[in-house]
Amino acid sequence: MTQAITIKPVPAQEQGNIPSNPGFGAYFSDHMFVQSYTQGNGWGDAAIKKLEHFSIHPAAAVLHYGQEVFEGLKAYKRPDGGVNLFRPEENLRRFNESAVRVVMPEVDPAFHLQALKSLISLDKRWVPEETGSSLYIRPAMIATSAKLGLGASAEYLHFIITGPVGPYFKGGFNPVSVYISDSIRRAVIGGIGEAKTGGNYVASLYMSEKVAKLGYTQVLWLDAIHGKYVEEVGAMNICFVYEGSHIVTPKLSGSILAGITRDSVLKLAPTLGYEVSEELLDVNEILSDIKSGKITEAFGCGTAAVISPVGKLAFKGEEYVINDNQAGTVAKRLYDELTGIQYGSKEDRFGWTQDVGIAD
Ligand code: PLP
Ligand code: COI
């Protein structure tokens, strides 16, 4: 059933100024999409309106028990002035999968996509021009029932906010330093690691704040049972390159987010002549393969981080430098191909992009 969306545009004189160097996640476009859910009535009151604060009860379940999910995708300005989305159905499918895991209602994917496109059309002036910049789109859902007894909420808010972003890491396409946590764990098989829900991110903060003071940009998480198998990084999946030609990434264990960029790398890389495999990766073998030079590159991949070379891994007091702490050719090629498809400057052989439907 298609729902109608009430659209209340912000008057021109009240619209915000667009920053020239937005960084990541600090600026927001003029409008937001919002709809609410009540048990029995389902979703309703869908609207696109001025971005504003919510008023929720202090006992709202999201504030106490973290019942929430979110997604992250981007809109890219093409050379012809149009705007591309990259594999949006994948994000909206994962949104619903995450929602099911934390007992939240699903959103009709076609309606979700329509809401997202209508929102971007209204805020099209916020989609940055420069390659490397994009409009970050953050769909989210929160539990709003006022009740302190532990249980699934009866009421929810689903919303989408957007904002212009540049590179996620300050250094842009330059190697980041990553610290492998040997004590704190992020997620466990059977837990919520494969869902995109706040609990996984708050679990990572203690370690990431600690190692940031030591100069590391991200934390690499090991599996929580053996403390041995490489899982993923705070905001991205991880790949290692053997002998310049074979890309290896941890297989999806149940505690890793099934990244859409990861999946795109696995599909794109073979067309560029690279071998790919998904494996159980023992951290000790990875580190010894870095030392022996068998591993020639490492990089993270994610929507916010795109393809980010990893120049150093630290574990138990020792540092392992990869490719002289320089961005490697495999990461660079994948970055160029992927962003070329996303921004519409390279042929989209996979049918991954979708036109938002707004001419310049
Ligand atoms: N792993 C984590 C924990 C993430 O937050 C992200 C980012 O969304 C990823 C991996 C990469 O996923 P995707 O490529 O779908 O953005
Ligand atoms: C994304 O890459 O879109 C994410 O959601 C990661 C987040 C930590 C910024």
284-302 mean pLDDT? 98
pLDDT at position 1 over 80: no
Q: Identify residue 67 by its one-letter amino acid code.
A: Q
- 98 Cβ contact partners less than 8 Å away, ≥ 6 residues apart: 69, 70, 71, 195, 196, 197
How many Å lie between the centroid of ligand 2 and the Cα of residue 196?
9
Is the pTM here over 0.85, yes or no? yes
Closest listed ligand to the CA of 236:
1
pLDDT at position 360 over 70: no
What is the pLDDT, as a whole number, of residue 26? 96
326-352 mean pLDDT? 97
Is the CB of residue 62 less than 8 Å from the CB of residue 142? yes
Average pLDDT over the chain reads 96
- 241 Cβ contact partners less than 8 Å away, ≥ 6 residues apart: 247, 248, 274, 295, 296, 297, 298, 299, 328, 330, 331
155-181 mean pLDDT? 95
CA–CA distance, 9 with 15 (Å, rounded to integer): 10
Q: Say how many C-beta atoms besides its own lie within 10 A of residue 78's C-beta.
A: 17
CA–CA distance, 243 with 211 (Å, rounded to integer): 30
CA–CA distance, 135 with 86 (Å, rounded to integer): 12
Distances (CA, A) of 94 to 20, 33, 244: 32, 19, 32
Ligand 1: residues whose CB is within 6 Å? 72, 232, 235-237, 257, 259-262, 302-303
Q: Using one digit for the tens of pLDDT, what is the confidence trace for 103-143? A: 999 999 999 999 999 999 999 999 999 878 999 999 999 99
Q: Using one digit for the tens of pLDDT, what is the confidence trace for 17-74? A: 999 999 999 999 999 999 999 999 999 999 999 999 999 999 999 999 999 999 999 9
What is the pLDDT, as a whole number, of residue 357? 86
CA–CA distance, 45 with 17 (Å, rounded to integer): 29
pLDDT at position 144 over 90: yes
What is the pLDDT, as a whole number, of residue 172? 85
Which residue do the tokens 């002035």 mark?
Answer: 81
The minimum-distance atom of ligand 2 relative to the CA of 72 is 3
Query: Three-state SS for 283?
Result: helix
Q: Using one digit for the tens of pLDDT, what is the confidence trace for 224-257? A: 999 999 999 989 999 999 999 999 999 998 999 9
Q: Closest Cα to residue 72, out of 158, 160, 131, 133?
A: 160
Which residues share a beta bridge with 315? 318
Q: Kindly state the percentage of the chain with pLDDT values over 90.
A: 95
Q: Kindly state the percentage of the chain with pLDDT values over 70.
A: 99
pLDDT at position 2 over 60: no
Atom 5 of ligand 2 has which residue's CA nearest to it? 72
What is the pLDDT, as a whole number, of residue 187? 96
pLDDT at position 359 over 80: no
* Domains, the chain, with CATH or none: 6-165 (3.30.470.10), 176-343 (3.20.10.10)
| Range scoring the smallest mean pLDDT among 86-95, 165-174, 195-204 | 165-174
Query: Three-state SS for 219?
Result: strand
The minimum-distance atom of ligand 2 relative to the CA of 70 is 5
Pocket probe mutation, ligand 1, options 301, 303, 352, max atoms within 8 Å of Cβ: 303
